[in-house]
Amino acid sequence: MSDAVLIDFPRIEVDRLFAQMQRAQKELGKGLKNSVAWAGSLLMQSLAAQTIVSQKLRPIVSNPDKRHKTDKRFAPFGVFRYDRTGKKYFKPIYRTGEYGRIRFIDKKTAEVKYINTLTGKVHRAEQVDQEPGMSIKSDKRRIIGRRGLAKKSWQWAAKHMAGGIANLMRVPNLASIKWIGGADNPAVKIENDLRYMRFALKGGYAALNTAAANAARKMAKLIEDRIVRKMEAA
């Protein structure tokens, strides 16, 4: 996966996590590979906790291209979306909202009314959002189809430290886990193919510091709990 995300964790937090791996070997008798896998799983859980899950629907926004005010070829409303690199762009919604109706003043009642250009029906202003095809609120382009994918990619990694390739939400080869280094010097390589990941992390890559610190603290607590149980059972 050539576009995989490469993450550099803060050195001080990495050292703390490594210290806990050494404790797991010394005080719990865990093997080196098992200690690395345990730390890796906890780190992935911490990253999942630091990953944002978006809302179910994209908010409706005005077209940033002001030409929509004078040129009806441009939709006045739409949503913002993100491409695979995380760049935001405007996605217009046509044939709905203002673009799908004609506003006029009723000469007899002086009411603001609309003609649905899809059905030809006339509606008062308060009826617009109830008429199918008149409102952009229910447009399918508002739905975020792969909501939570970034979080799920870390959760998958936390559960598959033995190795494997993730295929989530119909996205193939989303992430992978590979072991390198052999029995004497095992190391786990975790790759994530979501190029917008830094936008999904709380506070961007600053979340890495929090995730690594939390993983080290959790591992320390789990080690201490197991040591206590061993002493109580002796």
Q: How many domains does one find in the chain?
A: 2
The pLDDT, as a whole number, for residue 160 is 97
**With the CA atoms of 9, 15, 21 and 23 taken in that order, what torsion angle do they form, in degrees rounded to the nearest 10?**
-160
CA distance readout (Å), 200 to 121, 150, 154, 155, 228: 43, 7, 12, 14, 38
The pLDDT, as a whole number, for residue 134 is 47
The pLDDT, as a whole number, for residue 97 is 43
Does residue 115 form part of some domain?
A: yes
Rounded to whole angstroms, how far apart are CA atoms 18 and 39?
8
Q: Does residue 189 sit in the same domain as residue 213?
A: yes
Q: Does residue 46 sit in the same domain as residue 156?
A: yes
The pLDDT, as a whole number, for residue 109 is 76
The pLDDT, as a whole number, for residue 27 is 94
Does residue 197 form part of some domain?
A: yes
Q: Does residue 133 sit in the same domain as residue 151?
A: no
* pTM for this predicted structure: 0.74
Q: Does residue 168 sit in the same domain as residue 186?
A: yes
Domain residue limits at 182: 11-54+146-233
Mean pLDDT, contiguous 10-residue spans, the chain (234 residues):
59 90 95 95 97 92 87 81 82 61 68 68 59 63 91 97 95 94 89 86 88 96 95 84
Does residue 180 form part of some domain?
A: yes
Q: Does residue 150 sit in the same domain as residue 227?
A: yes
Rounded to whole angstroms, how far apart are CA atoms 215 and 222?
11
80-112 pLDDT tens trace: 998 877 788 999 886 444 445 666 667 777 676
The pLDDT, as a whole number, for residue 83 is 80
Q: Does residue 155 sit in the same domain as residue 137?
A: no
Show the tokens assigned to 211: 């995730």
